[in-house]
Amino acid sequence: MTGVYTVSQINAYIKNLFVHDFALSNICIEGEVSNCKYHSSGHIYFTLKDQGAAMACVMFARERQGLSFRLQDGQQIEARGQISVYEKTGTYQLYVRELRLSGRGALYEQFERLKAELEEMGMFADCYKKPIPPYAMRIGIVTAPTGAAIQDICNISRRRNPYVELILYPALVQGREAKDSIVRGIRRLDEMGLDVIIVGRGGGSIEDLWAFNEECVARAIFDAETPIISAVGHETDYTIADFVADLRAPTPSAAAELANFEYHQLMEELASRRSALEAAVLRKAEALRARLSRERLALQLQSPERRLAEQKQRLSEKERQLRELLQAAIQVRRQALWQDRQMLDQRMQQRLLETRHRLELLAGGLEGRSPLKRLGGGYAYLEDGEGQAVRSIGQLKPQDRFTAHLPDGAVEALVVKTVPGKPEA
């Protein structure tokens, strides 16, 4: 068989045709993303389709560096690149160099870009979130004056708290002028010193809700002094206002639930707490009365008057005991003194008798030795001229004068001579 080619040769030939085709080397194709897969290598594989056909696409890791959003199934995109053949399987695919969202996808890309910018600035940080007051009585509302949103907010607010004051700023919530109207409403209500402000509207497409994705609206919410609840669209709808607001409600009805306290429930809770408080006060008062009685009794037992009376009584008892002890001691002392006196008298009498007896004996002995008695027996008492007793002849010499004392007088004499005699044995 002549003219036979291998599969590789045919695929290479076809690839060469794609490569040299100018239209296919730089082409932009619009379609919906499906079967999107992020490979571990960093490449992105997906299918681009419309109502009648589909095309395989790949975006290599080196090309996706400038991609500003995450590719997902269902996105409407515009892909620019080159169509070529993958020789190994003989299939052709679009090798993507650039990607961008188209239509609604462009709005989504703008949303993500602004969200990232404001988040980087810190406008979504929890530290800037103001707490919603638990008992709000004046609530501002920035929304359209007609529509289900305001009706739902009013109905739920009146049901939960019939005394709440609702202040509506009728704003445009859709269209080119909506963002400025919403900003004016936020600033006007913020000047009124309300408890909380609800900003929102009912559901719709991303285009319908776009006013709440505008940067000026986000900054007005962030700059407001009044706590703000964002209630835009349905539960699955998210806007920039939701991230900046102090609290996000999934729906306007939910915002009314969050902003209003249940009046009747509060009254019941207050009544219950009042009863509990009264019971606690009664228990406390009873406990205090019992404590007061104990303290009063203890005070009576420890009072100065009582203690003084007890001290006086103890002092009187001590005084009586001391007096009795003193009397007993005095009596004992008196008895002892009387006995001592009796004994002393006896001893003095005995001593006196003994002394008198000794005196008589001494007197008798003295009388026998008395100079007067001896003088009476012919003896004399001699004194020299100087009045000194003459005891020895050695005290006198011839011609010395001396005096001789006799019982009836004295004789002055002159020594003629002295005659030594033999001393008495």
Cβ–Cβ under 8 Å, residues 261 and 278: no
CA separation for the pair 389, 401 (Å, rounded): 13
Residues 6 or more apart whose CB falls under 8 angstroms from that of 174 comprise 201, 204, 208, 211
233-269: pLDDT as tens digits = 887 778 999 999 999 999 999 999 999 999 999 899 9
Q: Tell me what the pLDDT averaged over the chain comes to.
A: 86
CA separation, residue 282 to residues 285, 288, 291 (Å): 5, 10, 14
Rounded-to-10 torsion of CA 243, 247, 250, 253 = -140
- Residues 187-206 have a mean pLDDT of 92
Strands of the sheet containing 165-170, edge to edge, are 165-170, 138-143, 196-201, 228-232, 247-248
67-116: pLDDT as tens digits = 777 888 888 888 899 999 988 888 899 999 988 877 655 677 778 888 89
Name the residue among 131, 135, 197 with its Cα closest to residue 166.
197
pLDDT at position 360 is 80
pLDDT at position 104 is 56
At 238, give phi and psi (nearest 5°).
Answer: -125, 135
pLDDT band at 425 (very low <50, low <70, confident <90, very high): very low
Q: Where are the beta strands (DSSP E) in 117-257?
A: 138-143, 165-170, 196-201, 228-232, 247-248
Residue 350 has pLDDT above 80, yes or no: yes
Cβ–Cβ under 8 Å, residues 37 and 44: yes
Least confident interval from 5-9, 153-157, 171-175, 204-208: 204-208
263-302 and 304-369 are packed helices; what angle lies between their axes, rounded to 10 degrees? 20
Query: Which DSSP helix (H) or strand (E) runs through 30?
Result: strand 27-38
Residue 424 has pLDDT above 60, yes or no: no
Q: Which residues of 77-94 are buried (b: 16+ CB within 10 A; e: fewer)?
A: bbbebbbbbeeeeeebbb
37-69: pLDDT as tens digits = 999 998 999 999 988 899 999 999 888 877 777
Cβ–Cβ under 8 Å, residues 112 and 69: yes
Residue 315 has pLDDT above 60, yes or no: yes
Q: Count of H helices and E strands in the chain?
A: 11, 13
pLDDT at position 398 is 87
CATH-assigned architecture of domain 135-261:
3-Layer(aba) Sandwich (3.40)
Residues 6 or more apart whose CB falls under 8 angstroms from that of 67 comprise 59, 99
- Residues 160-182 have a mean pLDDT of 94
Q: How far does Cα 168 stand from its chain's mean position?
A: 45
Q: Which residue has the tokens 């207050």?
A: 270
pLDDT at position 371 is 63
Residue 130 has pLDDT above 80, yes or no: yes
pLDDT band at 124 (very low <50, low <70, confident <90, very high): very high
pLDDT band at 3 (very low <50, low <70, confident <90, very high): confident
CATH class of 7-102: mainly beta
pLDDT at position 192 is 95
The residue type of 30 is: E
CA separation for the pair 49, 53 (Å, rounded): 6
pLDDT band at 228 (very low <50, low <70, confident <90, very high): very high
Residue 368 has pLDDT above 80, yes or no: no
Residue 33 has pLDDT above 70, yes or no: yes
pLDDT band at 308 (very low <50, low <70, confident <90, very high): confident
Residue 215 has pLDDT above 60, yes or no: yes
Q: How far does Cα 328 stand from its chain's mean position?
A: 71
Which comes out higher in pLDDT, residue 116 or 20? 116
CA separation for the pair 365, 222 (Å, rounded): 146
Q: Please give the share of the chain, as a percent, with pLDDT higher than 90.
A: 41
SS3 content of the chain, % helix, strand, coil (to 5): 50, 20, 30
pTM flag (> 0.75): no
Domain range annotation of the chain: 7-102, 135-261, 264-307, 374-414
pLDDT band at 154 (very low <50, low <70, confident <90, very high): very high
Q: How far does Cα 408 stand from its chain's mean position?
A: 127
Name the residue among 58, 54, 105 with its Cα closest to residue 77.
105
pLDDT at position 348 is 85
CA separation for the pair 412, 425 (Å, rounded): 30
pLDDT at position 285 is 92
pLDDT at position 45 is 94
